[in-house]
Structures are given as C-alpha cells and as structure tokens.
Amino acid sequence: MNASFALRALPSALLSLGLYACASGGPIEPIAGTVSIGAVRETVAVKTHDDAADDPAIWRNAADPSRSLIVATDKKAGLYVYGLDGQVRDFAPSSRLNNVDLRGDVKIAGADAVLVAASDRADETHSRLALYALSPQTEKLTELANLPAGNGEAYGLCLYRRANDRALFAFVVEKSGRIIQLRVDVSAAQPAASVVRELQLASQSEGCVVDDRTGMLYVGEEDVGIWRFDASPTGATRGEPFAKVDKRVLVDDVEGLALAPVGERGGYLVASSQGDSSYAVYALEDGAPVGRFRITDNGKGVDGTSETDGIELALGDFGPDFPQGLFIAQDGDNAPEAQNFKLLSWVDVVQGLRLEMEPAR
C-alpha cells in the first residue's frame, strides 16, 4: 500500500470510525494529495437530460475481453448495454430503474446466462426487483420478471452469490434506509424472489456492494458513511461502521461503492465522494483510507466527472486499454450533452495511488 499517504499512519480504529477532526471544530477541508486521473474513453450519453444516468455494472468476457459489456441505467428511461468502445449495443426501456448489478455464469431456466438485476422505483411506496438476461452472443437484454421487494421507494441494489453453494441474493436499499434481502431463484421458467431478512439504517441510503469471497455487505448511508454487514441471511442484523463522512476523505453524499478484491480476503473498497467529486479508496481489512482520486480531462476529448452517483470496478484483462481492470463512473455534468459514464484503466489508479494488488506473501 502507499505508506507515504499520511492518513495511513493513523490508528485504523480511529480511521474506520472517522474520529479525526480539526481542533477548532470548524469545517474540515478535503485532504491534500488527491490524484488526478484521466478517463480512457466515455460512453454515448443517455437519452434523457437533467439527472438521469445513474449506475453501471460490468460483465467481463473471459474468452474475448474486447467483447466485454457494460449495463447502465438511465433512471428515467431504461437500461443501456454499451461495448467497451462506449457505443450502445442495446436499450431496454423501463420508466424508473435506479441501480443495477449483474452476475455471470448463472443458470437461468437451466441455461448458462448473465443475470442482470435492477432496483425499480416506479412505485414509490412499493419497491420492486427487475430481472433481465444479458446475452453475450447478441449483446441484448431480455426481461425475465419484475418482482415485489418491499414497501418503500427502491434506491440501491446489489447482488450476492454465496460462496459455499452459489445461492443468489439481492439487496434492495430503500430510500428510507431500510435494506431488503431477497433470495433469488432463476432455475425455473418463471423467476422468483422471497424476502429473507430486513436491515435498517437511520437515514437515506443507496449505494451497496457485496464481497462474494467474504460474505460482507457494504452500504452507503449518504450523509453518515459506509456500514458493513454480514450478508448471510442468518447473520446479525446490526452493522458496523466502516468509514465515516468526515469531509476530508469522504464528503457527503456517499454514493456508489465498488470493490477491488486481492487474495482471499484483502483488497480495496472505492466510494464515490459526491460532495467534492472525488473517489475515496479504503483497505478492506480495517477501513483505513489509502488514497483519493479525481477523474479529470484526459486532454484527448474526454472530460472529467463531477457529482458522481454510481461506480463499478471489475478486475482482470479487458484488452490493451484496460489490462488490469476497468473502473466506470457516472458523470453528473456532461454538458452540453446529457449525462454519461467515464471508463478508466484500473492500472492508472493502482499506479497513481501506489496500491498493492498482489496478495501478501
């Protein structure tokens, strides 16, 4: 890790709780040393202007990394499928899909497929889970089902595939801070989802991500910070604080969350620090911050990002432009066009922050 990063030397217990502040008690300025990184390219803008693009997900084509796909939401119009060139491959209309996640190598009605899930907030009093199949061959989405999830407005969404039996679960994060965990069954022609547990945060929440290796769920409470829960349906319902909004490393709102797993348990969590248009990076083992970066103009016609909502990160070979992984961030101001998504090479982040990506020996 970047040992020169000043905050890394502080006690991890204090870091994870955000218990560092200036002596005057006044506003705390964002820390110095935020690295600037240019995007490699960007996607075609979504069709809806104003606040519309929201959250991306990534499917890596292991057989042909250049044909990997991005699924992303226009929360007022539907789901886009983009290629790594940023061009549109497909569009599935739907009125108010907010967050999206996916898992590859899933058996849908007995056939290998990529399962895509999205939170549906069309009815603000009844959250729903929208399920799609993504075909790697045709690069098209097929709607499978739209299932009831809870009794609130659906915001966040993330999937969890349990390591020991590959059972699938979805977490729907409602605007109120309630988190609905559903068991998802796509083995039959008609998919089903049943509520297995509810969790609760105290205020508006959205971004979430699950580490399938460790069975840990991370959820962003927008004005408070990031919480960590046991993702098991029989696990404790009380979460533990992972990182707090401190207006130095993490500036509210906390929005998208993404993971860079290293080895069996290590790695990093990246969070969208929307309040200062940056991205905070934390060590998974103890919640210690290890760096921050911003996405800036790359000097080749691709502008930076601001006020990012959703982010996503997938490691591995995605071709020569993304040799170690792909990081995607929603751009809240892509004027004069509508909002879109920026694509970064993860190796640029690793080098910029001097992160360790190999398992400790």
HSE-CB of 272 using CA atoms within 13 angstroms: 33
- Would you give the DSSP letter of residue 9? G
Task: Tell whether the model's pLDDT for residue 186 goes beyond 60.
Answer: yes
Query: Nearest CA to 265 among 238, 243, 236, 286?
Result: 286
Collapsing DSSP states into helix, strand and coil, what is residue 289? Answer: strand
* pLDDT at 2 (0 to 100): 36
pLDDT at 121: 97
Q: Hunting for tokens 């790594």 — which residue is that? A: 84
Residue among 168, 198, 197, 196 nearest 184 (CA): 168
State pLDDT tens for residues 192-204.
Answer: 999 999 999 999 9
**Torsion of Cα atoms, 278 then 279 then 282 then 284, to 10°:** 160
Element (H, E) at 17: helix 12-17
> 33 pLDDT band (50/70/90 cuts)?
confident
* Mean pLDDT taken over the chain: 91
Architecture of domain 6-19+28-353: 6 Propeller (2.120)
pLDDT tens digit string along 235-256?
999 999 999 999 999 999 999 9
Q: Which pLDDT tens digit goes with each residue over 312-348?
A: 999 999 999 999 999 999 999 999 999 999 999 999 9
The answer, yes or no, to whether residue 8 has pLDDT greater than 90, is: no
pLDDT in tens, 217-232: 999 999 999 999 999 9
Q: Which residue has the higher pLDDT, 350 or 18?
A: 350
User: Rounded to whole angstroms, what are the CA distances from 129 to 1, 2, 99, 219, 351?
Assistant: 38, 40, 10, 18, 38
Angle at 305 between CA 300 and CA 307, to 5 degrees: 170
Does residue 113 register a pLDDT over 50? yes
List phi, psi (to 5°) of 164. Answer: -75, -25
288-318 pLDDT, tens per residue?
999 999 999 999 999 999 999 999 999 999 9
The pLDDT of residue 44 is 98
Residue tagged 């945060």 (tokens): 201
* pLDDT tens digits along 35-46: 999 999 999 999
End-to-end CA distance of the chain: 14
> Could you tell me the two tokens for 41?
């390219």
Distances from the Cα of 278 to the Cα of 223, 251, 269, angstroms: 16, 9, 14
Q: Can you tell me which residue has the tokens 């929208």?
A: 130
- Yes or no: say if 172 and 149 are a contact pair by the CB < 8 Å rule: yes
State percent of the chain over pLDDT 90.
89
